[in-house]
Amino acid sequence: MKKFFEDDFLGNFNSFFNGMVQQPRANVYESENEVICAIFLPGIQNVEDIDLTINERTLEVRGTSRLEFKGFRITQEEVYQGEFKRIMELPYLVRQDKSDATFKRGILTVHLYRLITDKKSNNGVVIRDDE
């Protein structure tokens, strides 16, 4: 039993978990016409390390986080470092031309607005009479 619970046993799973891209934690808040997504991104030093994409009903965040202390080596790691990716399904279609994102103290806040479509429009093609 002792060997079963030793560090070597758990260490065998490191190769399995190391190949996975981590998903940062996020909260999504919605009102009738707006969505706010708060994504926790510890270790981000520059906003250039974050890639944010909005596509109809999804929000994708990806990048790389690093926590570095020169002259020190890590002995215990609980805060993930490395590549991350998170794709979130939004409650409704959002406008791609109107959005706002801010990054402050490790939290990326994305403010999105609902896409209001004209229900009368059927996206049909107008046929011209050439006679």
83 falls in which pLDDT band (50, 70, 90)? Answer: very high
Query: What is the distance between the alpha carbons of residues 57 and 90, in angstroms, rounded to a whole number?
Result: 5
Checking if the pLDDT of 93 tops 90, the result is: yes
pLDDT digits (tens, 9 = 90+) for 29-41: 999 999 999 999 9
Domain annotation for the chain: domains and CATH numbers: 19-67+77-114 (2.60.40.790)
Higher-confidence residue: 18 or 100?
100
pLDDT digits (tens, 9 = 90+) for 94-129: 998 889 999 999 999 999 999 987 665 555 666 666
The mean-pLDDT minimum among 28-42, 53-67, 68-82, 84-98 falls in: 68-82
Q: Which residues pair with 113 in a beta bridge?
A: 34
pLDDT at 121: 55
**Under 8 Å CB-to-CB from 91, ≥6 apart: which residues?**
28, 30, 35
Mean pLDDT of the chain: 82
